[in-house]
Structure 1
Amino acid sequence: MLTYPLAQFPLRRLTASYRAGRLIATGISADGHILIVEETTDELEKEPILSIHQLKDEWRKTTIVPKEEIDFSLIDCFSDGRLLLVASRCDDDVDGTWLPNAFIYDPQGNLLDSFCLDDGIQNIQIDEQGWIWVSYFDEGVYADAVTSSNGAFGLVAFNDKGEVQYKNRQYPIDDCYALNVCSSQEVWFFYYSDYRFVRLEQTEDLVCEAPAIAYSQFARHEDYLLASNTDVIQLLKRTGTVYEVIREVSFLTEQGDSLTGDLTMRNDLIVLSTGKQLYFGTLGRRLSSLLPNE
């Protein structure tokens, strides 16, 4: 792999992100709230529960829901405060139908609805109008192709009843590696095997060539993307319809200490989760310090 000049990106510690349990999922809502789900124990009932925290700066709101017999791995919320928990995988019932893997709760933790979004989910993000955008990895794409299920399309949008509103019919998605729903009018995704970044448009989509790297998360600002996989974090610049790497990036605390952890990105917001805390920053605010000197 080619090497590029290294730029350092300081992230701020999120004050209200302290945790007491096992981290289950991290997400970012359409309005920029950071969401985390952790498994804890009800001290009175001595039963496992899920604590869903909505965070912004020093503000924190927690919703408690029972721990279902399902391995949730994805979280988001609707603009009216309803919460969505999703499992990446789903099982079939004795009659062959899929069991639910998406569960909607009200802000008090009461279960409102559940339905199936198909198996092999890579990511989910809800836009401001309430559509649930779902991307699928290869097992979901090819397993569902046999039954012509939704996952076979690689990228699908559902409403809050689990009804399909959009299916990708244009791009040959073998694996939808990354998803960034900035708004209902600006939906980005990155897919294999073509290694393309796509911005969906009502008139004409923007389709851009990219390095042959399995980016799993990316933030965007103007003509720049900050993209990451398990091995590298890179700053990419768009020229025409081609994204090229111009920097490699490492994260630091504001005190200058190295930061590593699990990344979640949406719009231009970057969230890094360590064992005990969350750190965050925005690409737009730091972009000028990351760019090469002209």
Structure 2
Amino acid sequence: MDTSNTLKIHLDRVTASQVTGKHVATGLTISGQIMMIEEIYDIKRHRNVLHVHRLHDQWRTTTIVAQAETDFSYVDSFSDGRILLVASRCDDDIDGSWLPNAFIYDQSGLLLDSYCLDDGIQNVHIDEKNQIWVSYFDEGVFADLATNSIGSFGLAVFNEFGQVVFKNKEYPIDDCYALNVCASDDAWFFYHPDYRIVHFYKGNSTSYQVPLRHFSDFIVQGGSLISTDNEHTYLLQQEGDTYVEKARILFESEKGSLLQGTIKMRQNRIVLSTDTRLYAGTFSDFIPE
């Protein structure tokens, strides 16, 4: 790749996304909404609580969740508005069983259900059928391989009640770095050690080779792909069954200042979270003519 080829991509500041507490996690729902968790000290409760924001164009709704002790990494929403918060890791109980690391709340913050989606979670996406897609990193894949745990498959799908409905048995996943669920019959994932991107589409799967570079989020549109590890972001183009890096991408604000932060991608959307606010854009804005 010619490292001198750099694209500067403008992201719009998301209205009503200002962060006043500690940013915990950002997520994108299947309907395109942005979800954000921040931890804030509650004077009345004399403790930290979680504010789960759902951003709608020019405004946001907030659900206060009292459970701030769990180290949540992922947030998403079911079609009826219920909120899913998931921790990447889970502890084991005194009998050796896993404790819950997935918690479902209603829009008033009441805990409705909790269960374990296994340990070592890398990504979580809910599709339009309320199925929960979960990918796992290496500690989740290999920690309990002998017991044939769900994480050992690298990628699994659960129903909304936490019951497994799909386990990957086709691809030799050691670490499922990235996931992009566009629909229940249209999902992408990137796995190691083969450094391949797989596309599940209407019951079939196709895999593509990518450069030997780790990335945690990506989006695909036509023959173009954007990948990021939060430190470096690249534009790739499909050439046969391979994606080839064509340019490095830098994100900038509406004022032209360089943006750095945590990047989330889903479907064709990109959200970048800084310490104070969110910035967003869509892939269709970025593809060169």
Common fold, TM-score beyond 0.5?
yes
Are positions 1:113 and 2:100 aligned together?
no
Q: Secondary structure at the match of 1:218?
A: strand
- Cα distance, 1:14 vs structure 2: 0.5
Cα offsets for 1:205-241 (capped at 9, x unmatched): 1210100100111122121111011432101111221
- Please say if residues 120 and 137 of structure 2, whose CA atoms lie closer than 8 Å, have aligned partners that are also in contact: yes
- Please say if residues 2 and 246 of structure 2, whose CA atoms lie closer than 8 Å, have aligned partners that are also in contact: no
More displaced stretch, 230-239 vs 190-199: 230-239
Match of 1:134 in 2: 134
More displaced stretch, 130-139 vs 1-10: 1-10
Letter in 1 for 2:131: W
- The TM-score with structure 2 as length reference comes to 0.97
Any unmatched runs of 5+ in structure 1?
Answer: none
Inter-CA distance 263–230: structure 2 relative to 1 (3 Å threshold):
closer
Match of 2:6 in 1: 6
Cα offsets for 1:240-287 (capped at 9, x unmatched): 211111111100112211111110110110001111010001011221
Letter in 1 for 2:269: L
CA distance in 2, matches of 1:123, 1:258: 27
Cα offsets for 1:177-206 (capped at 9, x unmatched): 000001111110000000001011344312
Identity among equivalent pairs (%): 49
Are positions 1:224 and 2:224 aligned together?
yes
Cα offsets for 1:132-172 (capped at 9, x unmatched): 00000000000021221000000000011110011000000
Cα offsets for 1:38-70 (capped at 9, x unmatched): 111222222211100011321201001112432
Letter in 1 for 2:286: R
Counterparts of 1:126-165 in structure 2, within 5 Å, are: 126-165=126-165
CA distance in 2, matches of 1:203, 1:176: 20
CA distance in 1, matches of 2:232, 2:40: 32
Letter in 1 for 2:40: T
Match of 1:245 in 2: 245
- Please say if residues 215 and 229 of structure 2, whose CA atoms lie closer than 8 Å, have aligned partners that are also in contact: yes
More displaced stretch, 65-74 vs 21-30: 65-74
CA distance in 2, matches of 1:196, 1:40: 40
More displaced stretch, 173-182 vs 224-233: 224-233
Counterparts of 1:95-114 in structure 2, within 5 Å, are: 95-114=95-114
Counterparts of 1:211-290 in structure 2, within 5 Å, are: 211-288=211-288
- Please say if residues 4 and 246 of structure 1, whose CA atoms lie closer than 8 Å, have aligned partners that are also in contact: no
- Please say if residues 72 and 88 of structure 1, whose CA atoms lie closer than 8 Å, have aligned partners that are also in contact: yes
- Cα distance, 1:2 vs structure 2: 6.1
Any unmatched runs of 5+ in structure 2?
Answer: none
Match of 2:36 in 1: 36
More displaced stretch, 240-249 vs 128-137: 240-249
Match of 2:183 in 1: 183
- The TM-score with structure 1 as length reference comes to 0.95
CA distance in 2, matches of 1:56, 1:228: 25
- Cα distance, 1:99 vs structure 2: 0.3
CA distance in 2, matches of 1:72, 1:138: 19
CA distance in 1, matches of 2:4, 2:104: 44
Q: Secondary structure at the match of 2:182?
A: strand
Match of 1:94 in 2: 94
CA distance in 1, matches of 2:249, 2:202: 33
CA distance in 2, matches of 1:227, 1:186: 18
- Please say if residues 119 and 144 of structure 1, whose CA atoms lie closer than 8 Å, have aligned partners that are also in contact: no
CA RMSD between the two structures? 1.3
- Please say if residues 206 and 241 of structure 1, whose CA atoms lie closer than 8 Å, have aligned partners that are also in contact: no
